[in-house]
Structure 1
Amino acid sequence: MTSTNDQRISCHPGFKVLLLPYESKGNHEFSMHIYLPDERDGLQALVREISSSGTAEFLDRCVPTRHVAVRNLRIPKFQVSSKIDARDVLKGLGLELPFHFTYDWSEMIEFSEPAPPVAVQNVLHECVVEVNEDGTMAAAATEADLMMGFSITAEEEPAAHVDFMADHPSLFLIREDKSGIVLFTGQVVNPLL
């Protein structure tokens, strides 16, 4: 992806942030944020800075708020995907009841009387993020399999001109803009421009 058009970029000590908004319908607005360290080997230091300084506050503080003139913008094509069994993750977060036959599913599933015992067997989560010359795309799906065989598918400094050359490792995330909730995050460690 290349551009010389004005872009929403904020410049901070040691890194820059590019905001790429998604076309949105309805009440939600989403955008991809690419965090590019100034140093070619600065990604781990940037990740440590984000992690140690209150992540939500840090991300809110770094959101680009205005368009700046761009001399050269280059973002590599990449695709990141992940597929995990989220059962242990959910249990680790304290979600236990759906995994036991004693959980009451009557508000979600209609059973003929008497209701059979049902429990969640596994929870599969898959996500993909792709960036190419046409733009960006992100998608995720979660499926919970019940033991009976059902599936539930469940303020930056102004800059005159900025270069944003993502030719070294960077961090990306996709946020819902109003709430600030991060939906996807990842690192591009071997970019090919």
Structure 2
Amino acid sequence: MASRKRTMVSDSASEFSLDIYKAITRSSNNDNLFMAPTSIWIVMAMVNVGARNVTREQIEAALKLRFKDEEVMLDEFEKFSKVLNQGNRKSVKLQVANRLYPYSGRSILPKYISTISQHFGTDVKPLDFESCPDESRISINNWVEEVTEQKIKNVLPDGSINSLTRLAIVNAIYFKGNWAMPFKRRNTRDRDFHLIDGGIVQVPMMTIVQEELKYDENSELGCKVLHLPYEGDDLTMVIILPTEIDGLLELETRLDSQALLKIIDDVFFRRVEVYLPKFKLESSFALSKTLSALGMVDAFSRDEADLSGMGTDLYVSNVFHKAFVDVNEKGSEAAAATAAAVIERCPPPRPRKFKADHPFLFLIWDFKLRVPLFIGRYMHPPSQSSSTHR
């Protein structure tokens, strides 16, 4: 798997990803979480193109944008967005839905629309929020549902759009990938999972022994790191498992973008015995307060927002995000056929044990972009209802 040189865009996206993840986990009541922070970063970068003066300074600081030349920045965004929005990859379903919905009663500058279309590969669809707020909400939800193959529904909850809405930014992602080295369903069985509060519950635990998986133990952060690649090798699930049962919260506070890159890169091929819960997670977010807390205050202020590069008298009413992930045993037949042991003349080395039987952090890492496309935490068996954060 070839490692690509990091860019300023990659660095900015990674730093923002951890910032917004930490901001949300601080108010999530130790719940499960799954999100696509890099995609949220791209959406707010689109807003930044139309922002001016203090509003723009705040957004750029929060997004960690350090470009001095705007044309260079837009060209880098274009390259980045093409990879992010390229659609399905080999045996991986990656559906990205993002759109700007301005109020149709306010004119959006043609230059802004053409810039966004050229450099971000997205579109702008005006809606009449003032006269038809709920119809507008339903229209947006229907579009997201269509793009994500009916997997993500009602990204905008009741009451999230009203007659005062002037701009809605909606992003949704559906992801499902096949392991390069699949688990066998017959090996999945209920096993103990230790909760942070000391409780123990039963979860369906997948099990496999693989001859070559990227793995390491980091004593400084007190964790084990495992790479589980998806087919195609562009995307890998990176699981960061604290050594201590109750160690996730401390690990999250200590983890920064440099430390994350280090533990992702500092791994070695090992023979590993893997225990991983089988689960589906879906999370919904209304992000205006979170993004404001990260410094983008004026963009969400009706009085202070300066989005004059986009149009007149505009402000961002909210940013809605919903993400879904399915982690199961499935893999391709071709990959399964290569899992047989080659040498039997001498006993294989004793496998390292990676037993995710207590709360852990996981990322779906994009080796093309060198950023975390998705980030989540598994705290307990998910309930039937999805996690919602406001």
**Are 1:125 and 2:321 matched, yes or no?**
yes
Which amino acid is the alignment partner of residue 11 of structure 1? Answer: E
Give distance in 2, aligned partners of 1:88 and 1:169.
26
- 2:253 counterpart of 1:45: no
Name the one with the larger strand percent: 1
Structure 1 residue 187 and structure 2 residue 388: aligned? no
Structure 1 residue matching 2:277: 3-state secondary structure: coil
In structure 2, relative to structure 1, the CA distance for the partners of 1:78 and 1:49 (3 Å cut) is same
From the two aligned structures, give the one with the greater helix fraction.
2
Give the Å deviation of 1:84. 1.5
Q: What is the distance in 2 between the residues matched to 1:182 and 1:82? A: 17
* Range with bigger deviation, 78-87 or 12-21: 78-87
Query: Does residue 66 of the first structure (1) align with residue 268 of the second (2)?
Result: yes
Q: Residues 122 and 12 (structure 1 numbering): CA distance in 2 closer, same or farther, change over 3 Å?
A: closer
1:96, CA displacement in angstroms? 5.2
CA distance in 1, matches of 2:251, 2:299: 38
The answer to whether the Cα contact below 8 Å between 1:74 and 1:166 also exists between their aligned partners in 2 is yes
1:12 aligns with 2:208: no
Tell me, what secondary structure is at the counterpart of 2:357?
A: coil
Q: Who is 1:111 aligned against?
A: none
Match of 1:161 among 315, 337, 351: 351
2:90 maps to: none
CA drift at 1:181: 2.1
In structure 2, distance between residues paired with 1:179 and 1:62:
17
User: Where does 1:26-175 land on structure 2 (aligned, <5 Å)?
Assistant: 29-50=234-255, 55-63=256-264, 65-70=267-272, 72-90=273-291, 93-94=295-296, 103-105=308-310, 121-134=317-330, 161-175=351-365
1:127 to partner: Cα distance: 0.8
Range with bigger deviation, 178-187 or 31-40 = 178-187
SS at match of 2:210: coil
Secondary structure of 1:23's counterpart equals coil
Q: Are the structure 2 counterparts of residues 78 and 171 from structure 1 closer, same or farther at C-alpha, using a change threshold of 3 Å?
A: same
Q: 1:76 to 1:103 in 2, by over 3 A?
A: same
SS at match of 1:57: helix
Contact in 2 for aligned 1:77/1:132 (Cα 8 Å) = yes
Distance 1:16 1:9 in 2: 7
In structure 2, runs of 5+ residues without a counterpart are 1-205, 332-348, 383-390
| Distance in 2, Cα, partners of 1:188 & 1:57 | 23
Distance in 2 between the 1:130 and 1:40 partners?
Answer: 24
Decide whether the 8 Å contact of 1:60 with 1:180 is kept in 2.
Answer: no
Q: Which runs of 5+ in 1 are unaligned?
A: 107-115, 136-158
2:271 partner amino acid: A
Cα separation, partners in 2 of 1:23 and 1:38, compared to 1, 3 Å: same
Q: Which amino acid counterpart does residue 128 of structure 1 have in structure 2?
A: F
Q: Supply the AA of the counterpart residue of 2:230.
A: Y
More divergent stretch after superposition (179-188 vs 12-21): 179-188
How much does 1:119 deviate? 6.3
TM-superposed deviation, 1:160: 5.7
**When the two structures are superposed, what TM-score results if normalisation uses the length of structure 1?**
0.62
Encode CA deviations 1:33-81: one digit per residue, 9 max, x unaligned: 111122222222322332xxxx1111111125432112x2110012222
Contact 1:80 1:128 in 2 (8 A): yes
Name the CA distance, whole Å, in 1 between partners of 2:245 and 2:316: 45
Q: 1:15 to 1:89 in 2, by over 3 A?
A: closer
- 1 CA distance for matches of 2:299 and 2:381? 43
- Alpha-carbon distance in 2 for matches of 1:91, 1:48: 20
* 1:84 and 1:124 in contact (8 A); partners too: yes
Instruction: State the identity as a percent.
Output: 32
Superposition RMSD in Å: 3.2
Instruction: Give the TM-score, by structure 2 length.
Output: 0.34
Aligned residue-pair number: 152
CA contact (8 A) 1:97 1:103 kept: no
Distance 2:319 2:365 in 1: 23
